[in-house]
Structure 1
Amino acid sequence: MNRNIRYLIVLLLSPVFLQASVYYVSNSGSDTNDGSVQNPWRTLQYSADHVTAGDTVFVENGTYVGFSIETAGQKNNPIVYMALGDSVIVNEASNRDNIEIFLAHYVIIDGFIVENAQRAGISVLGYADDECVGVVLRNNICTNNGRWGIFTGYAANITIENNETSYSQEEHGIYVSNSADNPVIRNNTAHHNYGSGIQINADPALDGDGIISNALVENNICYENGKGGGAALNFASIRQSLIRNNILFNNYAGGLAFWDDGYGSGMGCKDNKIYNNTVVMPAEGRWALNMINTSTGNTILNNILIHQGDRGGLETDASSMDGLTSDYNIQDKISYEDTWLSRSEWNVQSGQDSNSFSATPGDLFAGGSDFHLKEDAPAIDAGITLIDVPYDFEGDARPSGSSTDIGADEMVITAIHHGSAKPSGSSLQLLGSYPNPFNSRITIRYVLHKPSAVEISVYNLLGEKIKTTVSRFRQAGTHQIHFDFVNFPSGVYVYRIIAGKELRFGRLLLIK
């Protein structure tokens, strides 16, 4: 038996795994049922009141009243809520937020459509002295909500990925607030929100230290945000954070903004890395990148910062010059202390941007909302290679040529490179299997963040391969495969997915 398969079988049969329960919620169910696939529950709130760490709740297509969960999972045994189809809608709530995670650590919300909330579509809430930890919000669509699509307060180590947030009526698509460190915000699309597309605000005036440290904001796409004010990516009092490979276009109030939330006393954004972002501002928009109010020690490299009107790339002030490094950017005018400078004047005055230059969108891109570089774009090989940016917004390795390209896209002439964004360190994401347990037919879902050859195999507890797929090349995106187990006995099975050099395992429970 393959040693890795043997190890996985032992692991998946351990008490930690076997004690977890799988429940189902359906519009055709009843809360007097046992929550099984044959007898599902009716309401999300009933399920939230009965889950424990390690449990999974599968929700069938339908329209549901929202829920609040206050039961915590564990780091290696999260509570998982997963939509089984593409039309699991939560559009009513008994409180102001449709889905509320309140002091419930390690909860995963995956695949829901959340709309028409009074306040937030999804909220994750804790206290300054009792943070909510380790929540994951993934693959959700949050639209037409009263104030925010996704909102967090004092939520540490949160991951917000692969969501779409749109048409927030009062404020932002995604809003991470209060002084909770280590947020990961990646692969989201935020558009047509009245305020910012994505905002991180440590709220210096409130309880806590007023600082959010070690944020990772990557591979997000923001457009048509900010008619009510607020940059596409708006940051207040963040520190030691990495902002890379984001694409921002046609936003009205600004592209990237770094400031202090008006609090002063040195609470600006400090020691951050702003690398390889593509920002194209409309003529009526504000500056592509705003860095003010004691936002010091920041590094701005390899960014496309284009303004199609009278303004330009960077707006900054004297209080933010200490420790500033800015170079290898595509930008034109700079505003320093409200005085507009040409790039050459800025270079003479500050010593910054010696290797930066100007270009138009027509020089760089094919047009429209396609921000892949043209084959003759001057951004190609014009940046500096950075260890913190090993790939572009689609997962293509950097550099492809003699040096890294400027902007979010790395031109790869000889490879297929148009697809979904790749999250940090991984090109394969396992979405799980359903229904699980099952009695004859199982569906396994996964996401490729770049094109790859894929092989899926199923093993019994003896380590014997009982089913497999022919290795096939798949494009980036979400995929699923069905297996029939009509002629196999009840029991536990292990499946393995290989995509390129990456490997994922999961457990299947067949009950007849």
Structure 2
Amino acid sequence: MTTTSRGTYLLKYFLIFLVLIITSCKDDDIAPAPGTGGPPDSPPPEPNDVGVNYYIASSGDDSNDGLSPETAWKTSGRVSSHEKFEPGDQILFLRGETFDNITLTEAGNGTVKDRIVIGAYGDENLAKPILQGSRDPFSFTIRINSMSGITIQDLKIQGANGDQIYIDPVNGRCDNIKILNCHIDGENGRHCIRFETDIDSGSFFGADSVEVAFNLIENAGQGYDNTSDGLNFSNVQKNGYVHHNTFFNNKSEAIDIAAGTGHVVEFNIMDGNGDRDSGGIKTHSLTGNGIHDTENMIIRKNIIKNCIQHAVQIQDGRFIKVFNNTIYHNEENGKNALLIGSSNEALYDADTWITGNEIKNNIFHGVTHTITITVIRFGGSKSGSPAIFWNDHDRYDISNNIFFGGDEANAVVVRIQTNQFMSDEPYTDFSNLGSNNSLPYADFLQYHPDNFNVNPLLNDPENGDFSLKSNSPAIDAGLAVGLTADFDGKAINGKPDLGAFEF
């Protein structure tokens, strides 16, 4: 081989190698960084080499084949009546238009690689297509029954008097569900997103590997039901991933996780908007649904603000890690920034049940009694002295947190309550409890000494800036808990700061 031909040969294979490298990096190049506002709306769909694209537009006709924008279907009803979708199929609604609700019942499954997508097409400058729920009869805007491998993305979902997105594994599992980059408005309805629990049929099907990310989830239950959540995770058995969402003005919890294992909740904003029933995140056990346990869960780098009910509730569980969150209350006579205890009589007295929980590096900033830690004994039919676990370091390791803004003399309240988990009365004033139920902050520190009752010196929390001032005592005050970046994606070098932001 001559020198010239050898050079041509090497150049040819170098170019092939370069093309392969660029192709393999394509997905990484568009991945959003932590703390960003999320990905933009998906671009117009490209030719589909796996499944087929089905188009829906108001100018269409349900007698069409739906396989092109020119032969689009007209209504959501035509989608609901389609017998079976295949892996890789896309169900695409035209941007800037409004459609009715859809229900898919055992209408095919996607795979982890080739998912069935319910999304959008058309001019990216137009608004997300709206799926409008019905109010008569009781209904849901998007209902997925016993299907896996589904992605719901780039839609505005609103108007149902039930749940806006209702995932129901009534006859089979609902694994690998993704809800991405949607605006979900639950006003005058119930939960914005709900993974249902079927506990009455005698058989049980659940959901694994669920992702909810980059969504605006707001107004659940407003004008309808004060028990409604932004995201109700009552049926996700393992590996739920909830990240980079904004929860706003939801009537009950932003996120309610009823049992399961391996869930990660990070980089979310949970804003209760001062609603008297609003809460942040709650974990608890749930009997009868085939899951029961709440364990091995991570709650980190979230901002939880303006929640008048409990901002962080760890009702039951083991090995739940609550790391580097910033919690800010700004209402008088709110409830607790942190609540620990149990809601399950059958599990509470089991010595191995509540164990290994870690609450570290958080900022709990409130007013009046909102930094109270409450421990609740679910009494039921049991009698005798309640088992109080909060002062057992092996069950609750509460370290390197800032608790600030309350009355230090009553910063911690041990509240023993039977027969119900939470009081029905809003704005419970914990300072009026009997002396046997209150514990001064200094006494709390005997069990958990590495905590601080100091002003964290946040820059402008009233206007949403929870970053740290240059003289904040939170700087470099954290424990190493395996985090590499803060809420905005800034690298953590050395000891982490307390809260969601690095200085």
Determine if the alignment matches structure 1 residue 283 to structure 2 residue 283.
no
**Partner residue of 2:314 out of 258, 265, 275:** 258
Partners of 1:365 and 1:341 lie apart in 2 by: 31
**Partner residue of 2:490 out of 391, 396, 413:** 396
Equivalent position SS for 1:232: strand
Tell me the residue number matched to 2:248.
191
The count of residues paired between Structure 1 and Structure 2 equals 383
Percent identity between matched residues is 24
Partners of 1:220 and 1:69 lie apart in 2 by: 29
Equivalent position SS for 2:119: strand
Partners of 2:176 and 2:274 lie apart in 1 by: 29
Partners of 1:8 and 1:146 lie apart in 2 by: 46
Classify 1:376/1:286 alpha carbon distance in 2 versus 1 (closer, same or farther; 3 Å).
same
Partners of 1:269 and 1:231 lie apart in 2 by: 19
Tell me the residue number matched to 1:38.
70
Partners of 2:439 and 2:490 lie apart in 1 by: 35
**Partner residue of 2:164 out of 110, 116, 121:** 121
Cα distance per residue 1:202-239 (max 9 Å; x no partner): 3xxxxxxxxx1111111111112684646311111221
- Contact 1:194/1:226, CA 8 A, preserved across alignment: no
Cα distance per residue 1:95-150 (max 9 Å; x no partner): 611001111101100011111111111111114x8321001001111111511111
Tell me the residue number matched to 1:105.
148
**Partner residue of 1:346 out of 428, 431, 444:** 444
Cα distance per residue 1:374-420 (max 9 Å; x no partner): 23222111111221x22112222223xx4101001112xxxxxxxxx
Q: Which of the pair is proportionally richer in helix?
A: 2
Tell me the residue number matched to 2:115.
78
- Contact 2:133/2:164, CA 8 A, preserved across alignment: no
Tell me the residue number matched to 1:462.
none
Cα distance per residue 1:321-380 (max 9 Å; x no partner): 3432111100142223564334332122x1x142x212336x223232221222322211
Partners of 1:254 and 1:225 lie apart in 2 by: 14
Cα distance per residue 1:290-309 (max 9 Å; x no partner): 01024432001100012211
Equivalent position SS for 2:110: coil
**Partner residue of 2:300 out of 244, 251, 254:** 244
Classify 1:9/1:20 alpha carbon distance in 2 versus 1 (closer, same or farther; 3 Å).
farther
- Contact 1:193/1:226, CA 8 A, preserved across alignment: no
Determine if the alignment matches structure 1 residue 310 to structure 2 residue 404.
no
Equivalent position SS for 2:239: coil
- Indicate the structure (1 or 2) with the bigger Cα radius of gyration: 2
Determine if the alignment matches structure 1 residue 58 to structure 2 residue 92.
yes
- Contact 1:329/1:353, CA 8 A, preserved across alignment: no
- Contact 1:197/1:222, CA 8 A, preserved across alignment: yes
Partners of 1:18 and 1:197 lie apart in 2 by: 39
- Contact 1:195/1:226, CA 8 A, preserved across alignment: no
Classify 1:353/1:63 alpha carbon distance in 2 versus 1 (closer, same or farther; 3 Å).
farther
Classify 1:226/1:257 alpha carbon distance in 2 versus 1 (closer, same or farther; 3 Å).
farther
Classify 1:245/1:172 alpha carbon distance in 2 versus 1 (closer, same or farther; 3 Å).
same
- Contact 2:210/2:236, CA 8 A, preserved across alignment: no
Of stretches 249-258 and 330-339 in structure 1, the one that deviates more from structure 2 is 330-339
Tell me the residue number matched to 1:146.
189
Tell me the residue number matched to 1:161.
213
**Partner residue of 1:88 out of 129, 134, 139:** 129
How does 1:200-279 map onto structure 2 within 5 Å? 200-202=257-259, 212-224=260-272, 227=275, 229=277, 231-237=279-285, 238-259=294-315, 268-279=316-327
Q: Which of the pair is proportionally richer in strand?
A: 1
Tell me the residue number matched to 2:4.
none
Query: Shift in Å at residue 174 of structure 1?
Result: 1.1
Partners of 1:233 and 1:83 lie apart in 2 by: 31
- Contact 2:147/2:173, CA 8 A, preserved across alignment: no
After superposition, the CA RMSD in angstroms is 2.6
Partners of 1:135 and 1:6 lie apart in 2 by: 30
Equivalent position SS for 1:180: strand
Query: Which runs of 5 or more residues in structure 1 are unaligned?
Result: 203-211, 260-267, 412-512
Segments of 4+ in structure 1 off by > 4 A? 6-10, 225-228
Cα distance per residue 1:252-281 (max 9 Å; x no partner): 11100011xxxxxxxx22211000011112
- Contact 2:64/2:72, CA 8 A, preserved across alignment: yes
- Contact 1:373/1:409, CA 8 A, preserved across alignment: yes
Equivalent position SS for 1:393: coil
Partners of 1:119 and 1:5 lie apart in 2 by: 50
- Contact 1:250/1:280, CA 8 A, preserved across alignment: yes
Bigger relative contact order (CA 8 A; separation at least 6): 2
Query: Which runs of 5 or more residues in structure 2 are unaligned?
Result: 1-14, 27-46, 197-205, 286-293, 343-347, 349-353, 377-387, 405-410, 417-436
Classify 1:33/1:319 alpha carbon distance in 2 versus 1 (closer, same or farther; 3 Å).
same
Which amino acid counterpart does residue 158 of structure 1 have in structure 2?
Answer: V
Tell me the residue number matched to 2:176.
134
Cα distance per residue 1:171-197 (max 9 Å; x no partner): 111111136221111111112111111
- Contact 2:335/2:369, CA 8 A, preserved across alignment: no
- Contact 1:305/1:314, CA 8 A, preserved across alignment: no
Partners of 1:124 and 1:21 lie apart in 2 by: 24
Tell me the residue number matched to 1:410.
502
Classify 1:310/1:289 alpha carbon distance in 2 versus 1 (closer, same or farther; 3 Å).
closer
Structure 2 length-normalised TM: 0.71
Partners of 2:365 and 2:499 lie apart in 1 by: 11
Partners of 1:192 and 1:159 lie apart in 2 by: 22
Classify 1:47/1:9 alpha carbon distance in 2 versus 1 (closer, same or farther; 3 Å).
farther
Equivalent position SS for 2:445: helix
Which amino acid counterpart does residue 314 of structure 2 have in structure 1?
Answer: F
Query: Shift in Å at residue 67 of structure 1?
Result: 0.6
- Contact 1:364/1:379, CA 8 A, preserved across alignment: no
Which amino acid counterpart does residue 491 of structure 2 have in structure 1?
Answer: A
